[in-house]
């Protein structure tokens, strides 16, 4: 299994690996403030000294090896905070912390968390939004081309008007 390493800078400080459309975070460094959502790392999640979870936020940290909460980490009264060792398959099947109609396990499988992409965005830029990729059972991180089981039809302005699943022969 060959992995290509790519460092991505975002507010959460992710070091990511990409493999066949699944996003695997090696280590995740959380800084303040942490928004509601599920955050995943293949190895470790490290909550830095200034990391806080505000009242009303619901956060699940899911790490393959360890979750480290440094001195100064604070989860406010009224917040919900959980940390567990495991993978996206360990997330409750019907969980949707961010209420975007995409189940958390699916978002973590493809995006590593539930906050970096939404149901209305098109992560891979193939003209099919994430909510449609979810419903069709396609990979939102890989461009679907005609002939691969999905056929797209566009109008004269280039807008997607129809998606058809082509059964395997």
**121 in a structural domain:** no
**73 in a structural domain:** yes
Q: Can you tell me the distance from the alpha carbon of 150 to that of 92, in angstroms, rounded to the nearest whole number?
A: 29
Which residues have CB under 8 Å from 58's CB, separation 6+?
A: 36, 37, 79, 80, 97
pLDDT at 124: 85
pLDDT at 103: 93
Q: Are 30 and 14 in contact (CB under 8 A)?
A: no
Q: Within this chain, do residues 112 and 137 fall inside the same structural domain, yes or no?
A: no
Give the model confidence (pLDDT) of 82-108 as tens digits.
999 998 889 999 999 988 889 999 999
Give, as one character, the DSSP assignment of residue 89. Answer: G
Sheet of 37-41: strand order equals: 37-41, 58-63, 80-85
pLDDT at 159: 75
- Tell which phi-psi region holds residue 48, choosing left (phi > 0), alpha (psi between -120 and 50) or beta: beta
**97 in a structural domain:** yes
Cα atoms in the 13 Å half-sphere on the side-chain side of 114: 25
Of 113, 111, 115, 112, nearest in space to 133 by CA: 111
Q: Can you tell me the distance from the alpha carbon of 86 to that of 84, in angstroms, rounded to the nearest whole number?
A: 6
Q: Are 134 and 146 in contact (CB under 8 A)?
A: no
Range of the domain at 151: 126-169
Q: Are 42 and 138 in contact (CB under 8 A)?
A: no
Q: Within this chain, do residues 107 and 151 fall inside the same structural domain, yes or no?
A: no
Give the model confidence (pLDDT) of 15-43 as tens digits.
333 333 344 558 889 887 888 999 988 89
Which tokens in the block code for residue 165? 């699943």
Is the predicted pLDDT of residue 13 greater than 90, yes or no? no
C-alpha angle 37-22-28 in degrees, rounded to nearest 5: 50
The number of folded domains in the chain is: 2
**39 in a structural domain:** yes
**37 in a structural domain:** yes
pLDDT at 104: 93
């Amino acid at each position: 299994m060959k992995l290509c390493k790519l460092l991505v800078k975002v507010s959460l400080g992710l070091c990511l690996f990409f493999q066949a459309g699944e996003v695997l975070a090696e280590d995740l460094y959380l800084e303040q403030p942490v928004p509601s959502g599920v955050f995943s790392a293949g190895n470790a999640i490290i909550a830095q000294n200034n990391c806080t979870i505000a009242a009303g936020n619901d956060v699940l940290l899911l790490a393959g090896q360890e979750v480290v909460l440094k001195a100064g980490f604070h989860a406010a009264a009224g917040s919900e905070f959980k940390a567990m060792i495991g993978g996206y398959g360990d997330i409750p099947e019907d969980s949707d912390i961010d209420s975007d109609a995409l189940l958390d396990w699916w978002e973590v499988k493809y995006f590593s968390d539930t906050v970096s992409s939404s149901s209305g965005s098109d992560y891979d830029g193939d003209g099919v939004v994430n909510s449609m990729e979810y419903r069709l059972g396609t990979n939102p991180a890989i461009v679907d081309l005609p002939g691969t089981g999905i056929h797209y039809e566009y109008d004269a302005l280039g807008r997607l008007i129809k998606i058809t699943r082509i059964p395997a022969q």
